[in-house]
Each structure stands twice: as C-alpha cells, then as structure tokens.
Chain A
Amino acid sequence: MTNNTAVKIDALPDPYSVPLDQINLSDPRLYAENQWGAYFRRVRDEDPVHYLKDSPFGPFWSITRFEDIVAVDTNHEVFSSEPFIMIGEPDDSLPVSNFISMDPPKHDEQRAAVQPVVAPKNLAQMEGLIRERISEILDSLPIGEEIEWVSSVSKELTSQMLATIFDFPYEDRHKLIYWSDVATGAPELSGGTVDHDERITALFDMVNTFGALWQQKAQFRAAGNAPGFDLISLMEANENTRDMIHRTEEFMGNLGLLIVGGNDTTRNSISGSVLAMNQFPDEFAKLKANPELIPNMVSEIIRWQTPLAHMRRIATRDYELGGKLIKKGDKVVMWYVSGNRDERMIENPDRVIVDRARARQHLSFGLGIHRCMGNRLGEMQLRITWEEILKRFDDIRVVGEPVRVHSNFVNGYESMKVVLTPKAK
C-alpha cells in the first residue's frame, strides 16, 4: 500500500458519497477538520432522526433538527440524563457523578446549592472586577505582531474568571484549564486524544487540590470567619452538598462539571467571535459602528459557535419521534451544533448577523431543567470582552487557519494566530 492510498483512506469522504445509514456524526475529525456542516445538512434534510447501529460509542440516535431537539431536551422524564451526558461512557476506573448527569430530585438539590454564585444579582457585583481583568489582559497584548489568541486571551480570561468564582489560588489558575481539557478529552468520551494514565493522574490531582481547598475553607469558617461567596463555600453551606467531600464520585464529578462548564464554553466562544468577525467583515463593521449591538452579537456568536456540540440522553421508554421508534434504553444524542444551523428555524443559519432578530433563541445553553446555569456569566464575559476590544482595537486579523479541537463534544479551537491593529486615536 502506498502512502497516497493511506491518506485517501484516512481522509473524510464527501458526506453525499456515504450511504445514509452509515453517516457517523460522532467522528471527531468532522469537528477537528471543520467538516461537520455539510454532514449535518444532509442528515437534517434526509434523515433528521438518524440511527447509527455501529460506532466507537456504540449504537446511537442523532437528533439534528431544532424542533426535535427542543422536544427531547424538555422531556426529561422520557429522556434521562443518567448515567452521563457525553456520547461516550466514562471509564470504570474513574467513577464520576454530577448534577448535569442526574435526574430530579437529586439534580434539583445539587444545582440549587451552587446556582446562587452565578445569579445575575451576584454577577452585577462582579462586573467591575471582570472588566478590570479583561482590560489588563488586552492592554498587555503586543501590537502589530503575530500572537496566539487562544492562550493569551481566551484561556487567560476564562481561567481568571474561574479562579475568581472558585476562590482558587490565582497563581495556579492554569491548572483549571488543564483539568478541563483533560476531563472532556478522553478518547472513549468524545473521541479526544488525552492519554488514559495522564487523565487519571490529572483528575486525582484536581480532586486532591480541591479537597485541600475545601478543608481550608471549612477551617476558616470553623474559626468563626464569615464564609466567602464562592462555589466551594456555597457547597459547604448547603445541606444537600456539605458532605460531598466524602463522596468522591460526586465531588470529582461536580468539580469537573463546574470547571468544564465555565471553561471550554466561554473560551471557545471568545475565540469563535474573533474568527466570525474575520469571516464576516461587514458584520464587524456594523458592530464597530454601533457597539450597542454587542449583547445581540454575543447571543449570535454563542449560537454560531455552539461551543458544546452535543448532549446525550437515554430513553426511559419507547418513544416515537419524527416517524422513528426510539426504544427504551437507546442512546439519544442531541446535536445542538446542528439544531443551531437548522434552516427550518433560522434564516441563513451559517451566517453571523450581529443584529439578527431573536438571536437569543438558540440551543447552545440547552433547554429544560438542565439548561446552562452559567449562561449569564458567559454572556457577560463575552459582552465585556467585546466592549473593551472595541475601545482598543480597530482590527483583530486572524492569520492562517485556526487549529480545532479533536472532539465531538468540545467544538472549539486549540490555536488561533492573530495580529492586532490599534484603534486610531
């Protein structure tokens, strides 16, 4: 066999050349190579509730149209989030359990314990701090030379925010990024490339580090100090979560959830927003001419990027959807990344339109009881980032093609080189 043939075998085929029943939307290369658009378009048109009987993640249904995703996401009795919400199965040697992967009533109790930290009222008080930190990052960037946007802005900014809401040691904040990447990057979960042993070591380091932080905060409180308003202190203060430190699976699972939830999502939407303003220069001009469009643009970017491509459920009984019979026990994957590009629901869905009507009506946060808890924090970070960008820069030019994440779950960017042009004084 020549090298050429091998390359051909490895290359992704044209989606219309593959027999419909063999189209595999879980192939991580679709996302790494940014080829998912045409695949999903075909499936939405020809087989919107799509069954694949054989994949590295076992047999599964793909839900690809907007309306069908709404139907599944809002029906938590038929479509259970247990035992896990990514397409793959967690490694047995690393049991995890968290509230996104729980049904009521346990889900409701654990979520209620941590939700106050991201409630809008609390966020309003954090706005000044967030703006200060974003401003510092942007002011530190070199002008006119190639810089790595993902690490120097998107990751830096999200890790600072996470360190703030966890009250995590600031100098160690890069660890939060690493743990997040490792948590979702397992081959068996998302088609990622993280080594098994490295992942286990990292996640135990995460649990131990947070365990120590937990003890430290508990002692601080036991010494008569007022508890802080951070995620750990809130969990310690709530009767449903105060014993979690003794339940390693839940402790690890919920930490992982909160770290991933506040990490890849915002990070990749920030990177995606820069890419979008390069791909749609007329829209960038519109935004610069009218910065009041930023909140609407933020929603539009979160739709267009869809930083988490899917969520999965398990059917608790037989259920008919789109003329197909989903059987009890079947794995059902809602592809938010596809619903957000559904032509039936969204006009010109592949375009970013900063003043799009009803831009908030997208699927990226999910719907129903598992709807993203940190949505307002994410929106706020993106809004402030763009408010501060427009004050400083006339252009953020993307150089070359960004490197995308090899995953069917995290739809984002490993690397994106940019050159900054300052705003004319």
Chain B
Amino acid sequence: MIELTFIEHSGAEHTVSADAGTNVMQAAIDNGVPGIDADCGGACACGTCHVMVSTEWLDKVGSASDIEITMLEMTPEKNERSRLACQISLSPELSGLVVNLPEFQM
C-alpha cells in the first residue's frame, strides 16, 4: 500500500492508502477525499482533479503531458506545481506523497 496526503485549501489534511498502479485521483475518490470532482472519470479531459504537488515531490512525480498542460491552462488556480491527479500513477516510490487541493475545481 502507498500512503499519500491531500491538503485541502482550508488546511484540512487527509492521509489515505492506495494500491500501487492506481492513480492519485482514484485514491481520493475511493477514500472520499473532498475537493476532487473527476468529472471525466480519469480521461485527462475535464480538468476537475487539479492538484498541486508539494515542492519536495515534484521531481519524483514527473512532468505533465502536452494535453494535460492544455487542460490545466483552463484552470484559474494553476501554478507551476499543478497536475491532474488522474495522470499521476502511484508507484511505490511515491509513498508519502503530499498534494494540495485548489479552492475550487473548474
């Protein structure tokens, strides 16, 4: 199991466990973490699972694909740490991952 922590815009933290091979969006949905809408179910096509990866994890998480960047462009709260959670696969080396949630999904 991989442990990861979501920090809501309000500061509330949710630490959850997920299986390797799943993704960060699915981990949030399966564990009832609020603040992730996932309207497209993980197709990198709606932009509503926006998260901001904590700085120390950026290297391990890797960078967004072109289409993911395009979807993120439409999100008002994006920054240089923004990713779509459905596009981050959970591998064992991501155990301990911390991501921040935006105030709103759009």
Nearest-CB residue, chain B, relative to A376: B106
Task: Please tell me which one of the listed residues B41, B45, B73, B105 contacts residue A368 in the complex, with CB atoms under 8 A apart.
Answer: B45
Please report the total number of A residues contacting B with Cβ < 8 Å.
Answer: 24
Q: Which residues of A contact B48 (CB under 8 A)?
A: 360
Given contacts A108-B70, A369-B70, A376-B106, contact A119 B43 (CB under 8 A): no
Within the complex, what minimum Cβ distance (angstroms) separates A207 from chain B?
A: 27
The docked-state distance in angstroms from the alpha carbon of A371 to that of B71 is: 9
- Counting CB contacts under 8 A, is A112 at the interface? yes
Q: Which residues of B contact A79 (CB under 8 A)?
A: none
- Counting CB contacts under 8 A, is A121 at the interface? yes
Q: Which residues of B contact A112 (CB under 8 A)?
A: 73-74
- Which 6 residue pairs of A and B lie closest in terms of their CB atoms, listed nearest first? A120-B104, A367-B45, A119-B76, A74-B45, A360-B39, A361-B41
- Counting CB contacts under 8 A, is A365 at the interface? yes
Tell me the chain B residues, 26-70 only, with Cβ under 8 Å from chain A.
37-41, 43-48, 67, 70
- Counting CB contacts under 8 A, is B80 at the interface? no
Given contacts A74-B44, A376-B106, contact A115 B70 (CB under 8 A): no
- 21 interchain pairs, CB-CB under 8 A: A70-B43, A70-B45, A74-B44, A74-B45, A104-B70, A108-B70, A108-B73, A115-B74, A119-B76, A119-B104, A120-B76, A120-B104, A120-B105, A121-B103, A124-B104, A360-B38, A367-B43, A369-B71, A371-B45, A373-B74, A376-B106
Q: Which residues of A contact B105 (CB under 8 A)?
A: 120
Encode contact with B along A349-388: 1 for CB under 8 Å, 0 otherwise: 0000000001011000101110101011000000000000
- Counting CB contacts under 8 A, is A73 at the interface? yes
Within the complex, what minimum Cβ distance (angstroms) separates B11 from chain A?
A: 18
- B contact residues vs A (CB 8 Å cutoff): 37-41, 43-48, 67, 70-71, 73-74, 76, 103-106
Q: Is A74 in contact with B43, judged by CB distance below 8 angstroms?
A: yes
Q: Is B76 in contact with A371, judged by CB distance below 8 angstroms?
A: no
Q: Is B46 in contact with A115, judged by CB distance below 8 angstroms?
A: no
Q: Is A116 in contact with B76, judged by CB distance below 8 angstroms?
A: yes
Nearest-CB residue, chain B, relative to A77: B67
The docked-state distance in angstroms from the alpha carbon of A225 to that of B46 is: 37
Within the complex, what minimum Cβ distance (angstroms) separates A171 from chain B?
A: 32
The docked-state distance in angstroms from the alpha carbon of A367 to that of B71 is: 10
Nearest-CB residue, chain B, relative to A361: B41
- Counting CB contacts under 8 A, is A44 at the interface? no
